[in-house]
A = this chain, B = another copy of it.
Amino acid sequence: MTKNRTRLSVPEYVAGVLSGNRMVLSRAITLVESTLSSDQDLAEQVVNGIMGATGKAIRIGITGVPGVGKSTFIESFGQLIVQKGHRLAVLAVDPSSQRTKGSILGDKTRMETLASDQRAYIRPSPAGSTLGGVGAKTREAMLLCEAAGFDVIFIETVGVGQSEVMVKGMVDFFLLLMLAGAGDELQGIKKGIIEIADAIAINKADGDNISMAHKAKREYSNALHLFPLNKNGWMPQVKICSAVDKTGLDEIWDMILSFKEKMEDNGSFAENRSDQRITWLHEHIAYLLEHRFYNNSTVKKSLSEHLSDVRSGNLSSISVARSLVDVFIKDIENG
């Protein structure tokens, strides 16, 4: 009862979001994030109601391990962007976070200036235990922010998990923050992240770090040239910056604008978006099927009985998979 009283109607959500009402936007995102089945039905109608007003923002993924200065970078880079007349929404994907210790603004001192700026909207990472679920919520939150008139979206990840590949699948441009002085600092970055980056920004290029940052820039530039070209024709770039000194940020923004222009010219921008929509469809189907499978009580019981034999190699993984799926289908058939 109480739950229902806090909900608006579909037209109220849609109209509120489209008018840029921040409170309605926040409530619509909360709806999308809800695990209640009645909320999900409502959310589906709301999101489909605003789809026509989506797609106009430039979507930027930003990742980097803890310690790279990501919050300060987003704070400084975000301010530069709103000062140029844009409206910025910052979302996060962090499947490990609980709402109460969300990665963004769990600590209220993070991005203080940006958070109080009316041209910016900052939303913590949704709660959720599985990446697929969190990713779907984040993607729909992004669409709602676009419909509310935000024309630049940041999607932040922590750079240490699977989430970067997923975020790559929902953004136009993927920026990896790194530090100079390779070695230890980099080891937290997951393999494969460097190869999916459209640009690497070497942060903290200030004070005594400047010459090291230039050296790192050369090394990464050389390494990136050994990789195969992106099919969109973009050669990933390496930039240096200091979020604290606010240097190098303009160059990064110009690079992103130049990327957007080139991709729009050669058709890759629209093609990538269209490919992403189809990929999301199939990935979310896979997520939902597996979600149902692993939450089926008959499957759970059978899986727990066989897991140690699979792990030890006594039973073939393939044949156990086959029998578990049969168990699942039979269980649905029997209601």
> Which residues of chain B have C-beta atoms less than 8 A from A278's C-beta?
307, 310-311, 317
> Which residues of chain B have C-beta atoms less than 8 A from A139's C-beta?
317-318
Known: A187-B228, A228-B188. A284 touches B48 (CB 8 A): no
Q: Are A226 and B186 interface neighbours, CB within 8 A?
A: yes
- Tell me which residues from 244 to 281 in chain A have a Cβ below 8 Å from any Cβ of chain B: 273-274, 277-278, 280-281
> Which residues of chain B have C-beta atoms less than 8 A from A284's C-beta?
317-318, 321-322
Known: A228-B188, A318-B47. A285 touches B324 (CB 8 A): yes
Q: Are A321 and B281 interface neighbours, CB within 8 A?
A: yes
- Say whether A190 faces chain B, with CB atoms less than 8 Å apart: yes
Known: A192-B192, A277-B313. A318 touches B140 (CB 8 A): yes
Binary contact track A128-149/B, C-beta < 8 Å → 1, others 0: 0000000010011001000000
Cα(A323)–Cα(B47), bound, Å: 14
Tell me the dominant secondary structure on chain A's binding face.
helix
Cα(A226)–Cα(B186), bound, Å: 8
Cα(A194)–Cα(B195), bound, Å: 9
> Which residues of chain B have C-beta atoms less than 8 A from A55's C-beta?
313
- Say whether A314 faces chain B, with CB atoms less than 8 Å apart: yes
Q: Are A51 and B313 interface neighbours, CB within 8 A?
A: yes
Q: Are A51 and B333 interface neighbours, CB within 8 A?
A: no
Q: Are B289 and A290 interface neighbours, CB within 8 A?
A: yes
Q: Are A321 and B285 interface neighbours, CB within 8 A?
A: yes
Q: Which of B219, B229, B285 contacts A226 (CB 8 A)?
A: B219
Cα(A268)–Cα(B253), bound, Å: 43
- Report the minimum CB–CB distance from A48 to chain B (whole Å): 6
Q: Which of B222, B274, B314, B316 contacts A44 (CB 8 A)?
A: B316
> Which residues of chain B have C-beta atoms less than 8 A from A323's C-beta?
44
- Say whether A36 faces chain B, with CB atoms less than 8 Å apart: no
Which 6 pairs from chain A and chain B are nearest by CB? A284-B321, A280-B317, A223-B223, A44-B319, A281-B317, A288-B325
List 21 A–B pairs whose Cβ atoms lie within 8 Å, in order of A's numbering.
Answer: A44-B318, A48-B316, A48-B319, A51-B315, A54-B313, A55-B313, A186-B227, A191-B227, A192-B195, A194-B227, A219-B226, A274-B312, A277-B310, A277-B313, A278-B307, A284-B317, A285-B293, A285-B324, A286-B286, A289-B328, A333-B333
* Additional A-B contact list (16), CB under 8 Å, known A189-B228, A191-B196: A44-B319, A47-B319, A55-B313, A140-B318, A182-B226, A191-B228, A194-B227, A277-B311, A280-B321, A285-B325, A286-B286, A286-B289, A287-B321, A289-B289, A329-B332, A333-B335
